[in-house]
Structure formats: C-alpha cells, structure tokens
Amino acid sequence: MSVTLNDVHSRLNATKVQRVVRPACAEEVAAAIQDAARTNSAISISGGRHAMGGQQFGAGTVHLDLTALDQSQELDPDLGLLRIGAGAAWPAIIRASHETGTLERPWGIRQKQTGADDLTLGGAISANAHGRGLTRPPLISDIECLTLVTPSGDLVRCSREERGELFSLVCGGYGLFGVIVDATIRLGPRLRLRRHVDIIDIDDAMHAVWRRIDQGFLYGDFQYAIDPKDDSFLRRGVFACYEPVSTEEPPSTEADLDERQWLSLLHLAHTDKREAFRRYSRHYLDTHGRTYWSDSMQLSTYIPSYAEFLARALPQEGPTSLMITELYVPPEGLMAFIASARAVLRATGVDDIYGTIRAIRQDHESFLPWARGDWACVIFNLLVRHTPAGIAPVKAAARALIDAAADLGGSFYLTYHRWATRSQLLRCHPRLPEFLAAKRALDPACRFQSEWWRHVDRLIAEPL
Ligand SMILES: Cc1cc2nc3c(=O)[nH]c(=O)nc-3n(C[C@H](O)[C@H](O)[C@H](O)COP(=O)(O)OP(=O)(O)OC[C@H]3O[C@@H](n4cnc5c(N)ncnc54)[C@H](O)[C@@H]3O)c2cc1C
C-alpha cells in the first residue's frame, strides 16, 4: 500500500512511496534490496528525514527506514573508536561514546550538526555534515570505516585503505551508492569547555575567529541580528566560543534555553526581530564563563511542533516552515558576501528568522566535497509560505545568495532545497558530473534513487 512521506523540517517534500520497510539488521537490508531487484523497483533510504532537498524519498520507490539499525557494536577504549549502527541518532551515539571511555580517559564525539539532534549517523555521513568546530573539516574526517550493502545486495567494508574510492563516494554520497549499515567513528577526548561570549561586529568576526583559534578555542559561532530595518542586520552578532579548561567544576548539563523560552524567542523573531536579538544576546551574555562538556554542548533544543506553533501564533500566514540555506565564502570575501546578502534579503523581502556564521576546513577526502576550501559558512533560516507565491521569492533569494557566494569563489550546501540552477550546480560543485557518472557505473540498474538525484541527474544531462 502506497504511503506519503515528508521531511521533518520544511515539510515541502511530500512523496508517495510504494511501501516502507524497516530492516533491523544488515541481512534484512540485503534481503530488501534483492526483493526490490526481483520486482525491478527502485529504493529510497531515510534516517532522521531532516534533509530538505528530497534526498531521502523517491516517488514510487520501496522506502527503507534505517532507524532500527541503531545498536552500538564495538568499542575500542584505547583508540577511542566506536562502531555503531547507521540508524543511531546523536543522543544515542553520545551515550555509546561514554561507554567507550573510562573515568580517567573519557571519549566523546568531535562534531555533530547543530539545530537538531534526531539526525542519524547514516544521514550525517551521506550529507558529510559539519558542526561548529573552528578548525574541523566535515564529518568524513571522523569516520574510520563503514559497512555498506551495495546495489547488488553484497555486504562490504570500506575505509581509506579498503575500497577507498567507494568510501569517498559514500561519505557525501546522499544514499546513492548503497545502504550504510554501520560506521566506526573516531572519537576525541571528552573535554570540559568554557564558553566565552562577546557581542561583536562582522568587521571583526574573522579576526576574532583567528584570535580564538590561536588561543586554543575549539568551537564557536556568530549568531547575527535579523532585523532588516536595522543597520545591525547580519552585521552585529553574538560570538560564542569554547576553550578547553582543566577544572573540577561540574559542567552545566541543562539546555541553555528550554522549549518554552525558545518558542517565545521564535515568536519574537517573527514579530519583533530587534527585541528577539536583544533578548537572545542578553541570555547568551548571562552564560559567559559557564563550563560544558565538549559533546553535550553540541546538542540542541529542537521543536518538532514548530510548524504547529507557527500555525497557532500566525494563523493569518497559512502553512509555513523554515528552509535552511547555507553559503560558503573564502574568509576574505565574508564582508562583501554579507553586503550582498543584506541587499538580497531586503530586495526580496524574504524573512530570515535566524542565522549563524561558522568556519569549515577544507575536505580533501570525499569525492564530491562541498568544503572545497577553508571557508566561512553563512546559514540562513528563511520563512517559506507553502504556496507557489510564497515559495517563489524564497527560491529567488536562495539563487541570488548562491550567485553572490559563487562570485566570491564560494559555494553552497547541497542538502537543503533543490532550487539551484544547472549553471550554479556546475559552477559550485564542479565534480558533480563525475559523481553522477560514478553513481551510474556502480549502480547501473539505478537501484537507489531519490527525488534529489532524479532532479540533478536530469538537469546536468540537459544540453547546454
Ligand atoms: C534543523 C536542521 C539543522 C541542520 N543542521 C545542520 C548542521 O549544522 N550541519 C550540517 O552539516 N547539516 C545540517 N543539517 C542537514 C542535515 O545534516 C542533513 O540533512 C542530514 O542528512 C540529515 O540526517 P537524517 O538522519 O535526517 O537523514 P535523512 O534526511 O533521512 O537522509 C539524508 C540523506 O542521507 C541518506 N541516508 C540516510 N541514512 C542512510 C544510510 N543508513 N545509508 C545510506 N544513506 C543514508 C538519505 O538517502 C539521504 O540522501 C540540518 C538540517 C536540519 C533540518
């Protein structure tokens, strides 16, 4: 019986699949693939279903929900390696990493995505996700090896040494090369970190980042002001950074803001942006000097009922959600990019509900790297009304932001939306044609499909 699935966050990807299968072990994954081959069906794969570009669904496919593959399987307390099922979400991965360590030698994850926690390891590897490390490349750098069920249903191990090219395709491969059933993560020492908070202007942001890196800070981001009527728009922000400290002080384990406080801030972000930033800054300044664990500090309060909250708070708007878009620019281009972004958002009237600027180090390992340089990452959470007239300006703004980043030698993240044009895809992701060719070579029957793959494959194949 067909089922309609949708992504959790934007809810803009309703897709009717043939049926949903939830395998509980690698053998059941292989059996599902062989079964699909017998009926000549394509397969789509999901974990936490947070991707917003349709990477996890394909109309008419047999859909594999991988979330039951969440067991931790092997721990190496000496090397800090954790092998865990690809369906495990970050809170479970963090708990398992604690079991890997000892009191004297605790281990923790080095990075995860921010903004949501119910994202799986398989989804994070497939997007080659990043967190808010100041000097970290994307997640592939934390993956030692993985187990994959291939399009023909075979179970294979891949790592840098064993099937190196397949490893580089699967990390950042958007589920197109097989099903990741488990992966071994390289953990890092679980550290106590002290938070430092400054309110600074963007003019100083890159220097402030370099200063903090020189001082040994490990994580940080800049959360900018969102009121387009104000001169501080995208320019002034809360710069929160984290440095390792040796203290016996018990780290804070509470969420900085609980769900009620978040909802109140989000409401203000829609109705009184200046006040939202004022309250947010004051809250953050109050937490200056607090200590946190390096792993749990990366967890977030996510409000899955956000769409319902918006519907209640702003009933006149009709269905809405937030679409994330993330742009990369070389650090020396950041000021110019921000000037362009201010102009784009003001001209289109698109509402940016919140956003941050982070840092990423170049990825030298994945086949289709999105982090092609040491870049500044600028993230926008844009309000989208779910009508053609509501989507059009957000799509136009997203395209204009991509052009602004590309003109500065930068790029954009492929996991969010399918709004980039063919020339933008080719300009910012020059290995995309080779990547799509590798997909067809390794999966000639195109067993693994998604709406995102169908879209980009068609677009790239179009004659110029
Ligand atoms: C609120 C929010 C915050 C975010 N923050 C960040 C961030 O800070 N940094 C960042 O880098 N990204 C971020 N993202 C994007 C996110 O990292 C990706 O969308 C990620 O892929 C989602 O993981 P998921 O488990 O929800 O995967 P899904 O959405 O279910 O799937 C995503 C992709 O992974 C594939 N996949 C999933 N599991 C497997 C598997 N076991 N084997 C093979 N393929 C698989 C799917 O086929 C699909 O292509 C954010 C997204 C949201 C909505």
Give which of 245, 248, 255 is closest to 218, Cα–Cα.
245
pLDDT band at 70 (very low <50, low <70, confident <90, very high): very high
Q: For atom 15 of ligand 1, which residue has the closest CA?
A: 51
Looking at the predicted structure, is the pLDDT value of residue 362 above 90?
yes
- Per-residue pLDDT band at 306 (split at 50, 70, 90): confident
Q: How far is the CA of 249 from the centre of ligand 1 (A)?
A: 35
Q: How confident is the model at residue 441 (pLDDT cuts 50, 70, 90)?
A: very high
Q: Is 130 in the pocket of ligand 1 (CB under 6 A)?
A: yes
Query: Given this model, what pLDDT does residue 220 score?
Result: 97
Q: What is the mean pLDDT of residues 61-87?
A: 94
pLDDT of res. 287 = 94
Supply the pLDDT for residue 263: 87
CA 63, 32, 164, 48: dihedral to nearest 10 degrees?
30
Question: For the range 264-268, what are the long-range contacts, defined as Cβ-Cβ under 8 Å and sequence gap of 24 or more?
Answer: 266/303, 266/306, 266/309, 266/353, 267/309, 267/313
Give yes or no for residue 317 having a pLDDT over 90.
Answer: no
Nearest atom in ligand 1 to 87's CA: 41
Higher pLDDT, 308 or 457: 457
Taking CA atoms, 326 is separated from 403, 439, 456, in Å, by 12, 25, 18
Q: What is the DSSP letter of 133?
A: B
Residue 118, pLDDT score: 95
pLDDT, one tens digit per residue, over 155-170 is: 999 999 999 999 999 9
Closest residue by Cα to atom 49, ligand 1, is 174
Q: State pLDDT tens for residues 273-298.
A: 999 999 999 999 999 999 999 999 99
pLDDT-based confidence at residue 100 (cuts at 50, 70, 90)? confident
180/203: higher pLDDT: 180
pLDDT at 304 over 90: no
> How much is the pLDDT for 379?
98
CA of 125 relative to ligand 1 center, distance in Å: 8
How many Å lie between the centroid of ligand 1 and the Cα of residue 120?
A: 7
Report whether pLDDT(50) > 90: yes
Q: Quick one: pLDDT band at residue 300, thresholds 50, 70, 90?
A: confident
Q: Which atom of ligand 1 is nearest to the CA of 138?
A: 11
With a pLDDT cut of 90, the percent of the chain lying above it is: 86
Structure-token pair, residue 453: 């793959």
- Measure 174 CA to ligand 1 centroid, in angstroms: 9
149 lines ligand 1 (CB under 6 A): no
User: What tokens were used for 122?
Assistant: 């398989």
User: Cβ(86) to ligand 1 under 6 A?
Assistant: yes
Are residues 185 and 82 in contact, defined by beta-carbon separation less than 8 angstroms?
yes
Q: State mean pLDDT over 198-211.
A: 92
Q: In angstroms, rounded to a whole number, what is the distance separating the alpha carbons of residues 77 and 93?
A: 15
115 lines ligand 1 (CB under 6 A): yes
Q: Name which residue sits closest to atom 3 of ligand 1, judged by CA.
A: 115
Q: How far is CA 302 from CA 111, 237, 280, 314, 431, in A?
A: 17, 22, 16, 20, 34
The confidence score (pLDDT) of residue 249 equals: 79
Question: What confidence score (pLDDT) does residue 301 get?
Answer: 82
> How far away, in angstroms, is 224 Cα from ligand 1 center?
24
Name the band, by pLDDT with cuts 50, 70 and 90, for residue 148: very high
Sequence-ordered list of residues with C-beta below 8 angstroms from that of 326, at least 6 positions apart, any chain: 377, 378, 379, 380, 412, 413, 416
Identify the residue with better confidence: 144 or 263. Answer: 144
pTM: 0.97
CA 243 – CA 216 distance, rounded (Å): 6
**CA 353 to ligand 1 center in whole angstroms:** 21
The CA 47 to ligand 1 mean position distance, Å, reads 7
pLDDT at site 434: 98
- Per-residue model confidence (pLDDT) at position 1: 80
Q: How confident is the model at residue 104 (pLDDT cuts 50, 70, 90)?
A: confident
Q: Which two tokens stand for residue 306?
A: 């956000």
Token couple for 369: 């790297």
Q: Is the pLDDT of residue 322 over 80?
A: yes
Joined tokens for residue 242: 């984290």
CB contact set of 346 (below 8 Å; sequence gap of 6+): 228, 233
Residue 51 Cβ inside 6 Å of ligand 1? The answer reads yes
Give the residue, by CA position, lying nearest to ligand 1 atom 7: 113
**Residue 9 alpha carbon, nearest atom of ligand 1:** 53
Using the predicted structure, report yes or no on whether residue 222 has a pLDDT greater than 90: yes
Residue 289, helix vs strand vs coil? coil
pLDDT at residue 383 tops 90: yes
Q: Which atom of ligand 1 is nearest to the CA of 181?
A: 41
Say what the pLDDT of residue 73 is.
Answer: 81
The residue contributing the CA closest to ligand 1 atom 10 is: 129
Q: Taking residues 373-385, what's their average pLDDT?
A: 96
Q: Pocket of ligand 1, candidates 266, 415, 442: which has the most ligand atoms within 8 Å of its Cβ, to mutate?
A: 415
Q: Could you identify the atom of ligand 1 that is nearest to the CA of residue 46?
A: 30
Residue 68 pLDDT > 80, yes or no? yes
**Domains of the chain with CATH codes:** 3-65+432-461 (3.30.43), 72-189 (3.30.465.10), 192-426 (3.40.462.10)
126 lines ligand 1 (CB under 6 A): yes
Q: Whose CA is nearest to atom 6 of ligand 1?
A: 113
179 lines ligand 1 (CB under 6 A): yes
> How confident is the model at residue 294, as a pLDDT?
96
Pocket-testing residue among 5, 10, 46, 121, ligand 1, by greatest number of atoms within 8 A of Cβ: 46
